[in-house]
Amino acid sequence: MNRIVLISGIVIAAALVVVLFVGLGKDPSAIDSPLIGKPAPAFALKAVGSGQTVDVARLRGKPAIINFWATWCGPCYQEHPTLVQNARVLGNDVQFVGIVFNDTEQKIQAFLAERGSAYPTLLDDSGKTAIAYGVGGVPETFFLDRSGKIVAKYSGPLTTEELQANLAKAMK
Amino acid sequence: MIFLFVLTLLQIKVPDAQTVVGPPKGLPIAGAQLDQRTNEVASLLRCPVCQGLSVADSPSTVAQDMKQQVRELLARGYTQEQILSYFEHSYGQFVLQKPKFQGVAALVWLLPIAALIFGAIVVFSKAKQLEQGPAAVPDAEPQPVDPYIARVREMVEKS
């Protein structure tokens, strides 16, 4: 009996150690998106400034990057130059779209005027588009292949290396 | 009014629950019942940017947007099950405060029950052992008789 209790204790403790080791090694903010492998949720929002309508259906044909951000988000300031720079270089082959939620058009325009812009920025004022994409914190970026299917999601500020590594999945 | 007009102009089409969970399966609700059901359903959803708070309890803007959407869906007649499915479609099982009884998540329900059964077995078997008294000690080798003790016994028996 004592041996059974001892062995059971060791098995339970070992299982706990494995769970903690795996769990603590993960980034708590990185949540796997259930949308990966599925068509991008539909939306048609007007671009801030130009008033041009961007429909997700029209993004098909080229790989696309949809970046959720906001002017009140600190890491978004850090990420913005990377996105603008890459959009200027890859603009002919990849479609970039920014979606801003819980923000005002005035603040977005001021942000873009100061920090530059190279692609349409859409306002999701009700937050419904962000919810449909399962966005928690910003910035979060979705990578779509030519058919409009989500192939990758990145949480946190992107670097050029991370952007290109995820984009490679969308280019296949 | 102007604000609503600008909002309508900016948002031509937003994703709708109908494309994910189909048409409403319940009846539209309003008033105090809508307030109550909104809180109940929102308390079943986890706020994605908080530590251990439900959408009903969190003051964060993301949670407020989610709560507002719960309210709109209930008002249109969507059932609790449909609403939870809609949010699960975007956020995964993570967003459910009560994990579903399927896959690895089933362990969350099964492990405590298994631990209880195991504990009960241990307690029951220990209690049974105590009831039976200490285990019989195997016969030890006969101890050498102390001549002094033997003499005392002999005297006692004689008296």
SS (H, E, C) A127-156: CHHHHHCCCCCCCEEEEECCCCEEEEEEEC
Q: How large is the average pLDDT for residues B89-95? A: 92
Task: Determine the average pLDDT of the residues in A141-163.
Answer: 95
Q: Tell me the per-residue pLDDT of B34-80, one tens digit each, with 9 for 90 and over.
A: 999 999 999 999 999 888 899 999 999 999 999 999 999 999 999 99
A122, A99 Cβ separation under 8 angstroms: yes
CB contacts < 8 A, A to B, total 96
Nearest CA of chain B to the CA of A89: how many Å?
Answer: 29
Considering only CB atoms, which chain A residues are within 8 Å of B13? 42-45, 55
Tens-place pLDDT, residues A23-81: 666 655 455 799 999 999 999 998 998 888 889 888 889 999 999 999 999 999 999 99
Q: Across the beta sheet with B11-13, what order do the strands follow?
A: A53-55, A44-46, B11-13
Residue B101 has pLDDT above 80, yes or no: no
The C-alpha atoms of residue B159 and residue B154 are separated, in whole angstroms, by 9
Contacts of B68 in chain A (CB under 8 A): 126-127
- Give the model's pLDDT for residue B1: 44
Cβ-based contacts of A128 with chain B (< 8 Å): 14-15, 65, 69
pLDDT at residue A90 greater than cutoff 70: yes
Euclidean distance between CA atoms B24 and A45, whole angstroms: 25
CB contact under 8 A, B15 and A127: no
> A82: how many CB neighbours lie within 10 A of its CB?
16
Q: What mean pLDDT, rounded, does chain B reach?
A: 85
CB contact under 8 A, A44 and B12: yes
Q: What percent of chain A has pLDDT over 90?
A: 66
Q: Do B14 and A124 touch (CB under 8 A)?
A: yes
Q: What is the ipTM of this complex?
A: 0.81
Closest CB to A132 among B6, B90, B92: B90
